[in-house]
Structure 1
Amino acid sequence: MSLASVASRLEPQVLLRWSIAVAVATIALKTLAWWLTDSVGLLSDAMESLVNLASAVFALLMVRIAMRPADADHPYGHHKAEYFSAGFEGLMIMIAAAAILWAAVGRLLDPQPLEQLGIGLALSVLSSLLNGALAWTMLQSSRRHRSMALEGDARHLFTDVWTSAGVVVGVGLVALTDWLWLDPAVAVLVALNILHEGGQLLWRSAQGLMDQSLEPDVQDVITRTLAQFKHRTIRFDHVSTRRSGSRRFVDLHMHMPADWTLGRAAAVRSSVEQALMSAVPGLRCTIQLLPMDVEAHSQDEEDLI
């Protein structure tokens, strides 16, 4: 079994607990690195790790809520809670970027010498290795579990890794050239990069909350599966899909001869449902049976795919 396969099997809640622990460790390492060097770049790195901690705690809370079963107030479940986690992460990233820009601009106007760069850079690299290993593991697991919260936290951690890499390069260049302005300049570039990442997370969260259709490759699988049942006496139309957290949904109409018994029609529908759910993990099907010569009408044709 490959390392990626093992990583993908880890449960989201377990990985998010690891994320909290790693965030605490990296905050300590990066804060110490900033304290030793007085680098605004390393300060920006430490500030983003604070965001990592808050985001991981919130993501764990949302994953727990998403796992709750359906109830009277939420008959379709709580799966969309994960999108709030991704949106929160995006917002926190953007706040951190604004704080980093504020600190960097101040240091650009008043450059300061850096100290004990070797130890500071070593601590930053160590924290980046921890974040990178965890982010890769979380991303593998998010694909298996289709967890938006886990994917958002993983991509946030990858952003932190790139942030640290940029800071290390900037501080290293200061050590080589003695150009003090490079440290805050790199911090500005880092802030702009994570600002972009935060905006992307917010956008994806909003798309999920608005019932975005399933991925094109998944829709192709659904189309190919339905094609196996097409016959001169059976046809499908009004196929629409959506995603809600880790759940996937498809609604469609299935037309059959009007003289078929209800039992026969229900048996064929059951076969179609089983085939679709086997082809697409986590899929929930709603199939409306109609006579071949009857067309269903929708009040909002824009909802049709």
Structure 2
Amino acid sequence: MGRKTLWVAAASVLVGIAVLGLKTLAWWVTGSVALLSDALESIINVAASAAALLALNVSARPADANHQYGHHKAEYLSAVLEGVLVVIAALTIMREAYNGFLDPRLPEQPLKGMMLNGAATALNGVWCMVLLRVGKAQRSPALVADGKHILTDVVTSVGVLGGFVLVPITGWPQLDPLLAGLVALNVLWTGWGLMKDSVGGLMDAAAPPEVVARIRELVSLHAAGAIEAHDLRTRHAGRITFVEFHLVVPGGMTVAAAHDICDRIESAFEKDMDDAVITIHVEPEGEAKHRGVVVL
């Protein structure tokens, strides 16, 4: 794992604290239940970013006697935790929205609240794009989950700002908590998506179809001398893709020659795919199944 990933994760905690401060101040000057809900979600953002940083540090540890395949799945645990925190935030927002609907009141100093919340939203918007870009480039589930989480916060804040514009115009104070409740539903849906994707990683879900297609292509192009490859299996663990398959070679081929083919395939994977771990089981031609990957 690059130092860039860890630096971005650490910076995410600091950005979260800054956003929380701005949103808390916006709620304090307005008394808006929607802004209170927005600030409550930002508390979850800070906790989730800290969890992501911890998970990235754990996943960067090398394999040891008790974890011989490494610690990469720690990132998925962080993403699951983040999904749970998003759900908690959504339920908390719903509760505050309900209480505000029962006792509605017009926000005080709405312009000042909008400016503070707008600054926090702009900061969050820029930072979530950074997290998503770096997370995808580094294949980090923790950073991607953190970016998606912050994106829901941006959506929440935009909705709140929209409500601030409409409440003074309509003179309807119930609009403030009603808007907070509607946005909470979107937050809840995003939290469910985070948990679903992360559980797939913990359950050793296969690599995406486009990645599997590239794996088959690499084997086909660089296994000259072999007959076929079958029983291809893949799984993701954080940024690592594990690839396993059986390689069928002529029965009279020497072990050294078969080993050279395996080395050539592994070298091709190393150049084309970052962080791929390949396991190849060599078999004689009598084990051919005449299906799977055809060697060109």
Q: Place the TM-score, normalised by the shorter chain, in its bin.
A: over 0.9
Q: Deviations over 1:137-161 (max 9, x none)?
A: 1111111110000001111111111
Q: Deviations over 1:157-186 (max 9, x none)?
A: 111111100000012100111111110111
Determine the C-alpha separation between the residues in 1 that align with 2:265 and 2:285: 17
Q: Aligned letter for 2:123?
A: L
Pairwise CA RMSD = 1.4
4+ residue runs over 6 A deviation: none
**8 A Cα contact 2:30 2:113, kept in partner:** yes
The offset of 1:196, in angstroms, is 0.4
Indicate yes or no: 2:211 matched with 1:221.
no
The offset of 1:94, in angstroms, is 0.5
Determine the C-alpha separation between the residues in 2 that align with 1:137 and 1:102: 32
Indicate yes or no: 2:147 matched with 1:154.
yes
2:294 is matched with none
**8 A Cα contact 1:121 1:168, kept in partner:** yes
2:231 is matched with 238
Indicate yes or no: 2:110 matched with 1:117.
yes
TM-score using structure 1 length: 0.91
Q: Aligned letter for 1:246?
A: R
Determine the C-alpha separation between the residues in 1 that align with 2:237 and 2:134: 18
The offset of 1:61, in angstroms, is 0.4
Q: Aligned letter for 2:34?
A: G
Indicate yes or no: 2:274 matched with 1:284.
no
Kindly tell me the number of residue pairs found equivalent between the two proteins. 288
**8 A Cα contact 2:201 2:238, kept in partner:** yes
- Unaligned residue ranges in structure 2 (runs of 5+): 290-296
Structure 2 matches for 1:263-274, cutoff 5 A? 263-274=256-267
Indicate yes or no: 2:25 matched with 1:32.
yes
Q: Aligned letter for 1:144?
A: A
2:186 is matched with 193
Determine the C-alpha separation between the residues in 1 that align with 2:107 and 2:121: 21
What is the aligned-residue identity percentage?
39
Determine the C-alpha separation between the residues in 2 that align with 1:171 and 1:289: 67
Indicate yes or no: 2:244 matched with 1:251.
yes
1:165 is matched with 158
Change (3 A) 1:247 1:233: closer
Determine the C-alpha separation between the residues in 2 that align with 1:268 and 1:188: 60
Indicate yes or no: 2:5 matched with 1:22.
no
The offset of 1:295, in angstroms, is 5.6
Determine the C-alpha separation between the residues in 1 that align with 2:226 and 2:17: 62
Change (3 A) 1:233 1:96: closer
Provide the secondary structure at the position in 1 that maps to 2:61.
Answer: coil
2:205 is matched with 212
**8 A Cα contact 2:55 2:74, kept in partner:** yes
Determine the C-alpha separation between the residues in 1 that align with 2:160 and 2:265: 55
Structure 2 matches for 1:61-100, cutoff 5 A? 61-100=54-93
**8 A Cα contact 1:41 1:171, kept in partner:** no
Structure 2 matches for 1:103-142, cutoff 5 A? 103-142=96-135
Indicate yes or no: 2:76 matched with 1:49.
no
**8 A Cα contact 1:117 1:171, kept in partner:** yes
Q: Aligned letter for 2:79?
A: A
Change (3 A) 1:275 1:14: same
Q: Deviations over 1:76-123 (max 9, x none)?
A: 000000001101110001001101100101111221121100000100
The offset of 1:289, in angstroms, is 0.5
The one of 182, 188, 201 equivalent to 2:175 is 182
The offset of 1:294, in angstroms, is 2.1
**8 A Cα contact 2:223 2:262, kept in partner:** no
Determine the C-alpha separation between the residues in 2 that align with 1:126 and 1:232: 62
Determine the C-alpha separation between the residues in 2 that align with 1:10 and 1:123: 33
